[in-house]
Amino acid sequence: DPSKFSDIFDEDRFIGTLRQHVRVVKELPKDVLLRFNHNISSIPNMRTKAYSSPDHYVQKVLPKLMELGVVRIAPFSNRLAQSVPSNIQALRCLVNYEALRFAEPIRVLADDMVVRMMKKSSLAGGKYVSVHLRFEEDMVAFSCCTYDGGRKEKIEMENARERSWRGKFHRPGRVINPEANRRDGKCPLTPLEVNNSWHDAARHGV
C-alpha cells in the first residue's frame, strides 16, 4: 500500500493536537538523513514485542535513539502494554480520540455516503445499520474463535496464526479460550449469523 499518513489522516491536526506533548515533524532533519546517506531503509529497525512496557522503550529504544538520532520501530501495531501509568494513558487517549482524524477527502466521502443511506432509508425514518463484513482468514485467526469447521478449521487457523504472528499466541501466560471469547462477544459474526440477526430483528419489529 503506497498510501502515506497524510493520505489517510489529517496531518496538520495530528501535529497541532500533540504540539504541547510531542514534537511531530513531517520530514526528518537533513543532518539526520545525511548520517544514513538519505536512505531511510538504512535506519536501524528495532523489532519490539507486542505490548512492551514503557520501561522497555526507556531502557532499550531510547539509548539507541539518542545515539543515532532516529530509529524505526516494527512491527508498528500494539507495541505498548495495555496497563501503563496514567500520564502515558492520557497521551494515548489524546492521540486515538482527538489527534487522529481522517483526511478531508475521506470525511467528505463518508458524509456523502451517510446522506445517501439516510435517503435510501426513508421508510425507516432515515435509520440504517452499517456492517463491515470483513470475515477473512487473518481476522478469524487473530480472534482465536472457533466456528463449524472442526479439526480441519482448527489446523488451518493455527497455521494462519503461525504464518502471520510467529508464536505470539503460544507465549508463556497466553491462553486461547474460544468459548470464553464467544461468551464475551469477541468473535466476529459470520455473514450467515449477521443475516440471521437481521432476520430476527425484522421479525420482532426491532
**pLDDT exceeds 60 at position 17:** yes
Question: Within 13 Å of residue 69, how many CA atoms lie on the same side as its CB?
Answer: 11
Claim to verify: residue 146 and residue 90 sit in the same structural domain: no
DSSP-derived secondary structure for 18-77 = TTTT----SS--HHHHHHTTT-GGGS-EEE--TTB-HHHIIIIIHHHHHHHS--EEES-S
Number of Cβ atoms within 10 Å of the Cβ of 157:
21
Claim to verify: residue 157 and residue 82 sit in the same structural domain: no
Q: What is the Cα–Cα distance from 3 to 11, expressed in whole angstroms?
A: 13
pLDDT in tens, 41-77: 899 999 888 888 999 999 999 999 999 999 998 777 7
The total of structural domains in the chain comes to 2
Claim to verify: residue 142 and residue 197 sit in the same structural domain: yes
Whether 116 maps to a domain, the answer reads: no
pLDDT of residue 66: 94
**pLDDT exceeds 70 at position 142:** yes
Q: Select from 53, 82, 99 the last residue of a domain.
A: 99
Q: Which residue has the higher pLDDT, 48 or 21?
A: 21
Q: Which residue has the higher pLDDT, 201 or 166?
A: 166
Claim to verify: residue 94 and residue 10 sit in the same structural domain: yes
pLDDT in tens, 72-100: 987 777 778 888 999 999 999 999 999 99
Range of the domain at 171: 137-203
Whether 143 maps to a domain, the answer reads: yes
Q: Select from 73, 99, 125 the last residue of a domain.
A: 99
